[in-house]
Amino acid sequence: MTTPLSYATSRLVTPVDNNDHIRGKAEASVTLVEYGDYQCPYCGMAYPAVEEVLRQRAGTVRLAYRHFPLTNVHPYAEMAAEVAEAAGTRSRFWEMHDWLFTNQQLIEPGSLLRAGADLGLDVEAIRREVVEHRYADRIRRDFVGGVRSGVNGTPGFFINDLRHDGGYSTGELLAAVDEAAAAWPTGRPHPEQP
């Protein structure tokens, strides 16, 4: 006798809170969490799709971005995350986030500091903070939360606390966001969902 295969959907272990980098309205019914790596080519391909979803569903969806640098294959991913965090302490996280994804092919130590200059930030202060790994704990916390939630590659998406195992084209993400918005208008997974 054989039994049918069953698939378990992973849940987001670390809830979205005020410590997250969030883009979009707080009252949005759908929260899209992305675990990403600034050097990952797949994250680079997903970036414009996520931006388009945020544009098309501005009142419905918000994005929380979390770091998941795959340092074994992307040698500057962690440094890029640290630079983004340094920019974030200066209220410029999203500008740096956008710069990193739109200039992904340039990511290396020298260009990361030039990005700070492009954004009008104090490059010497950022360099010092990155050398000291001042934001390493924050990045590690994001990474560990991702691992505990079942992230095994980037980009890793969760929609209203449930892992999105579909694709990340604009159409696929829009469909998933629309389904989540229709299923539970409060923006949180229904407590009875598996």
For residue 185, what pLDDT band results from cuts at 50, 70 and 90?
Answer: low
CA dihedral 164, 170, 175, 178 (to 10 degrees): 100
The two three-digit tokens of residue 171, written as one number: 């159409």
- Asked whether residue 4 carries a pLDDT value surpassing 70, the answer given is no
Please state the pTM of the whole predicted model.
0.90
**Cα–Cα distance for residue pair 183/191, rounded to 1 Å:** 12
**Tell me, what's the pLDDT at 133?**
97
Q: What's the pLDDT score for residue 48?
A: 98
What confidence score (pLDDT) does residue 93 get?
98
Altogether, the residues listed in the chain come to a count of 194
Which tokens hold the place of 151?
Answer: 């992230």
Q: Phi and psi dihedrals of 63, rounded to 5? A: -115, 135
Beta bridge partners of 158: 33, 163
- Percent of the chain's residues with pLDDT above 90: 86
Evaluate if residue 118 carries a pLDDT over 60.
Answer: yes
Instruction: Return the closest-CA partner of residue 10 out of 141, 152, 140.
Output: 152
Q: CA-to-CA distance for 143 and 37, rounded, in angstroms?
A: 10
For range 125-142, the mean pLDDT: 97
Per-residue pLDDT at 2 exceeds 80: no
Q: Give 114's pLDDT tier (boundaries 50, 70, 90).
A: confident
At 184 the pLDDT is 64
Confidence of residue 38 (pLDDT cuts 50, 70, 90): very high
- Res 17 pLDDT > 50: yes
Rounded distance between C-alpha atoms, residue 102 and residue 163, angstroms: 26
Name the band, by pLDDT with cuts 50, 70 and 90, for residue 15.
very high
114-119 long-range contacts (CB < 8 A, ≥24 apart) are 115/83, 116/83, 116/86, 116/87, 119/87, 119/92, 119/95
Q: What is the mean pLDDT of residues 72-82?
A: 97
Architecture label for domain 24-183? 3-Layer(aba) Sandwich (3.40)
Q: Which strand (E) or helix (H) includes residue 65? A: strand 61-67
Can you tell me the distance from the alpha carbon of 46 to that of 6, in angstroms, rounded to the nearest whole number?
A: 28
Question: What was the pLDDT predicted at 113?
Answer: 85
CB 67 within 8 A of CB 36: yes
Q: How close are the terminal C-alpha atoms of the chain, in Å?
A: 26
